[in-house]
A and B are shown apart, each in its own frame.
Chain A
Amino acid sequence: MVDRVGTTGTTWLGLTTACAQCHTHKFDPISHTDYFSLMALLNNADEPEWMISSADRDQRIAESKARAESLWQQVPQHWPAPGRPPGDQLAAGSSEPGQRASSDGRRMVSLAERFDAWLREEAAHAIDWRVVVPEAIESNLPHLVPQSDGSILGSGDITKSDVYTLTLPAAEQPVRAIRLEVLADASLPDWGPGLCYYEGRKGDFFLSEFEVSLPLKQSRVEIARATESFGGKAFAGKQAAGAAAAIDGVMSSGWSTNGRQGHAEAAVFELAEAIEPGQPIVVTLRFERHFACSLGKFRLSTTTASGAEARGMSLAEEVALLTTPAGRSADQRQLLFRRFLKTAPEVSDQIKEIERLEAVERQGLSTLVMRERPADNPRPTHRHHRGEFLSPEELVAPAVPAFLPQLPNDSAPDRLALARWLVSPDNPLTARVVVNRHWHALFGRGLVETVADFGYQGTPPSHPELLDWLAVSFMTPVEQGGLGWSLKALHRLIVTSDTYRQASELTAATAERDPDNVLLARGPRVRLEAEVIRDSLLKAAGLLSTKMYGPGVRPLQPAGVTEVAYGKPTWQASAGEDRHRRGIYTFRKRTAPFAFTTTFDGPSGEACIARRDISNSPLQALTLLNDPMFLEIARALGREVVAAAESDAGRIQELGRRLLSREFAAAETEALAEYLQVQRQRLATGELQADELMAREATAQSVNENLGEEAAWMLVARAVMNLDEAIVKR
């Protein structure tokens, strides 16, 4: 949050809001309370993963559901027909129609018999569970809300040690066992049943202890036995995490259904002695782990029956089983039949396919979003003494800094209001900061040099009227002749200006009067940013992929860069066009950043850097000369220029156009041609090996005249890629 308040100030307001975390800003009119009020605007959000919906996905889900339903209809046909009675062997292979009919008949009879036996067995064990809706629900922090089906849904913040205290109303009959159903829900991470989203497995929960007590008697109720329909593995995967681990008095062991995300399971806790009717029962659920792992959706029920065990039946299935065969509705019959089929090994292949299809709904591309919290569970924001997280003082209301125009009264003070306020026509600051940042990107220096600080400590604008004119044009809608907040239009406006198109050469006069080009008497001359260097060289070599969207990719980088990161991950460079996507798609490994970007001043992404410094180091030279990624580009470029022109002169100019956007002057051409001749000669005599330079296996196939020529041009291309001009905008 602290980071977000600072970043919001830097990015949108050009204000050093972060400065007021510990005390009122020393220079700008931002009070300590202003800082936390701005935080309150940003703080009231949950950050769930959001399944990205698309017509494709909707269609895939609908098709899967339809296919699953049709497979359900076909399952009985896959039931194996039992063999014939022994005396019937001789008739095998007969094509008499009666024989085939009897095969189908035997199949149906066998299926019906098995189903009946299953029904009798399960009905005999069916338990009359009564769903109990707690009359009081308390927790240390998670937000627990009762649902219409008697379940309770959790949301909001969770901690590494959560306690749910549920007071059940007095029962009318003795209670001999309590059942805890853990349920799936689309609102939970990976559909639940747990709220775990970080460090542990998504959607998991870890019930350390399940306790029952009687407040009237002020006594704990002993639990004799715990059973579960499914028990996962505990963290580190060594010990089974069954329900018995939730009644052993040890917090580091517990019950989890990890591996069954998106499915309902249950645990049954059988009490040592029945609880007599007429008194409230308190059930306490404790979740404790080195990661937050509380339960997201659950339902409690009790029974007076003895010997109850968890069997993985849903509430509806238990009810159907308890109904007399004659009294069961068609839906109940189908429910039980399908339940039976799921347990039958004879059709497990078909069931597996159905379950795969049913899971499609829970799969897809997701993204992290911020979602405003429900009105009944806002996250309070306090002012913190000296900015210390552990020293909260008074509550603060969400607001923008008091010295600026305020949020409108007619809407709730939330992130949407803040976003609208930022781009409101009454607020010129955002547009100024944005156009200045883009001016900086194009000229290497902002009109306000301190792009992140428009306050008293920042530098005053060199051209205040120009900055204002640009900001106002940027904000003005297109239909009124402005740019309508279009960055592309802003870029076009700037790069087609006379100022930008000036030559960048430094003359004695400009060097004397304006060495840093503050007054813009010449065009900009700045080194490109890391990502742009890579993109533009890829483009020159004809390798750049302009493919959009999707997960990050791994360009080539030297071996050993990631060996230091936790777990020593390997960096397997992407194949095909993914290897040459634009820099923005490069996978970011936090513990071992992409080496090339760091070498060329790319920040780590851990702090908001509005203005990168530009260094000029030997490591950069080594990277452009020897990094496998740039050697690959040089090889491609070598091949390209050989194919593009016939003459040496033509090829040299092709390189100039591709890498420097100009043709070489005579003196330059001469130096390049001389270098070319020497290398060509050395390749011909075998002093230099073309297949090694071109990274080809030395096979008969690769011995061709062109390879030597391509290698010679690869070397020329590599040299030109290392010219100052190749990585400088001028």
Chain B
Amino acid sequence: MSEINTHHQHQLLDITRRHFFSECGVGVGKIALAGLLSGAFRKSAMAKPVADPLAVRSPHYPAKARAVIQLFMAGAPSQLELFDHKPALTAMEGKPIPPEVIGGQRYAFIRPDAAVLGPRYKFARHGACGAELSEMLPQLATVVDDIAIVKSCKTDQFNHAPAQIFMNCGFAQPGRPSLGSWVTYGLGSESEELPAFVVMSTGSGISGGAANWSSGFLPSVYTGTRFRNAGPPILNVASPAGADARLEAETLGLVSTLNRQTLSRDGDPEIATRIAAYEMAHRLQASAPELMALQEESPETLALYGCDPAKASFARACLIARRLVERGVRFVTIYHAGWDAHSDVAGNVKNNCKATDQASAALVADLKQRGMLDETLVVWGGEFGRTPMVESSAVLGRSLGRDHHPNAFTMWLAGGGIKGGITHGKTDDLGFNIAEKILHCLGLDHERLTYRYQGRDFRLTDVHGHVVDALLT
């Protein structure tokens, strides 16, 4: 068992309880209360009646990154129209792909002998590093020296839901904890008020659904908290219609008074935790509007992202993500669905780049100018790639599309622990494990971050993976 595991599951719980009672004795709960009401709830061991599952924990080794922003391009973007320039395909366009190229691979819709489709967009070299990007990514080109492009990504799955769940949880069937849950479990939360793991979604619905941010067999407290696009982002953060601030203060005051009486009678430290939770809820109600006050951002920043604060969009979500990380949130995932270009890949890429290119690049630039990029890891990518062969079917009304391609896709990473301005891997390389790299940047060893379930120590990367040093600073 790893340190964190032991620490988390049994011993700390016992030790702190015993410690609390042996040092303080029953009836001295008020001392504890004084501590937690003064805001030291998370930090002071004395004031902590039970092990806080979200307490900040040390990584396995010094971390490069403190937080992660995952830009999940659901539906699978075409690497061939964005990052992976293959002029050879143009020469072969219209001819069937040679069978030796694809071996026995099966596809979702097309036959293995489908014709080749050349890249739909022009590519050019950018930045000091000279990385090739398509004309659909003009904004990303401006930060290309800060990102590491990984072209050799590969997955086990070629349907959306299982592939999304695989990317997030390391397993194609639902039921395992997601990356964000593992990270929160491993490192705890630095924010006392905001959830440690936040999920936003700006495109169409996500076929993998909540399994993508599920805590699986980890305690549910590590489940990603969904931020809504309309209304206050956190569920139930707003007081009911008709209630004013005074009423809420008086209500919480009454609840607190009565709970304290119960604490002094029953002596259960969980009551003290509940009192603290209501205090934090009250603070969260105050801080949530502040978090969402995007109009406070400078006009330059809003323009950088292309964000209209009043309108739900990917740009708005990226800006919120930066503000969340600023406030100590550990892991933010933004889903943007809609890259599933079975037909008209050119139009699909154009529309989705219009929605995401500027804001993705702005996030990297903004984090950098604020000095936050060094400790924030940004990860961009989908659940698989798209075929070099064309998908067209009169039966399904599709033309000039690309099918699902599990064997090659591109992701990029930027920020804490990642070397900027490099391109890793060629599309005929073998596998690459993004998850363990993310853990590595956060100072977590993917072989030591474990949780005991059904009799064995599970880990995100199961029995696979090694860290690619070439990408790391």
Contacts and interface: CB of A to CB of B under 8 A. Distances in A.
A718 B251 contact: yes
B205 A622 contact: no
B396 A564 contact: no
A625 B281 contact: yes
B11 interface: no
B254 A595 contact: no
B208 interface: yes
Contacts of A690: 242
B267 A511 contact: yes
Given A590-B209, A601-B219, A668-B258, A606 B278 contact: no
Nearest to B237: A622
A455 B281 CA distance: 41
B403 to A, nearest CB: 11
B266 A564 contact: no
A516 B20 CA distance: 13
B236 A615 contact: no
B239 A602 contact: no
Contacts of A347: none
Contacts of B201: 563-564
A561 B230 CA distance: 11
Among B201, B221, B225: residue with most chain A CB under 10 A? B221
Among A251, A252, A618, A695: residue with most chain B CB under 10 A? A618
Interface string A295-309: 000000000000000
B145 to A, nearest CB: 34
Contacts of B109: 252, 290
A584 interface: no
Interface string A248-260: 0011110000000
A564 B455 contact: no
B21 A512 contact: yes
Given A564-B201, A566-B206, A616 B454 contact: no
B219 A606 contact: no
Interface in A613-630: 613, 615-623, 625-627
Interface stretch (B210-218, B372-380, B415-423): B210-218
A521 interface: no
Given A235-B396, A252-B393, A560-B228, A16 B456 contact: yes
Contact of A595 (B50, B235, B244, B266): B235
Interface in A693-730: 693, 695, 715, 718-719, 722-725, 728, 730
A607 interface: yes
B247 interface: yes
Interface in B162-180: 173-176
A695 B236 contact: no
A722 B255 contact: yes
Contacts, number: 272
Contacts of A505: 265-267
Interface stretch (B268-276, B290-298, B302-310, B316-324): B268-276
A688 B21 contact: no
* Interface size classification for chain A: 35 or more
Contacts of A615: 53, 219-221
A593 B50 CA distance: 28
B251 A715 contact: yes
Interface residues of B, number: 94
B437 to A, nearest CB: 24
A679 B242 CA distance: 12
Nearest to A161: B106
Contacts of A9: 454
Contacts of B25: 508, 511
Contact of A606 (B214, B275, B453): B214
A234 interface: yes
B454 A563 contact: no
A494 B402 CA distance: 63
Given A615-B221, A627-B236, A667-B261, A606 B195 contact: no
A452 B257 CA distance: 39
B209 A592 contact: yes
A453 interface: yes
A564 B240 contact: no
B454 A10 contact: yes
A213 interface: no
A211 interface: no
A511 B453 CA distance: 30
Given A25-B455, A511-B267, A667-B261, A566 B207 contact: yes
B57 interface: no
Interface string B224-253: 011011110011111111111011001100
A129 B266 CA distance: 86
A607 B455 contact: no
Contacts of B268: 504, 506, 525
B139 interface: no
Nearest to A557: B235
Nearest to B108: A290
A245 B22 CA distance: 80
A695 B265 CA distance: 37
B335 A613 contact: no
Given A236-B397, A609-B217, A723 B258 contact: yes
A148 interface: no
Interface in B1-44: 14, 17-18, 21-22, 25-27
B236 A590 contact: no
A590 B205 contact: no
Contact of A619 (B18, B225, B239, B254): B225
B230 A671 contact: no
Contacts of A617: 221, 277
B284 A719 contact: no
A457 B455 contact: yes
Given A563-B228, A564-B335, 4 more contacts: A511-B267, A615-B221, A631-B240, A719-B258
19 contacts: A27-B455, A238-B395, A504-B266, A506-B268, A512-B22, A525-B270, A564-B205, A564-B335, A567-B205, A568-B204, A591-B205, A593-B210, A606-B214, A607-B216, A623-B235, A627-B235, A675-B254, A693-B241, A723-B262
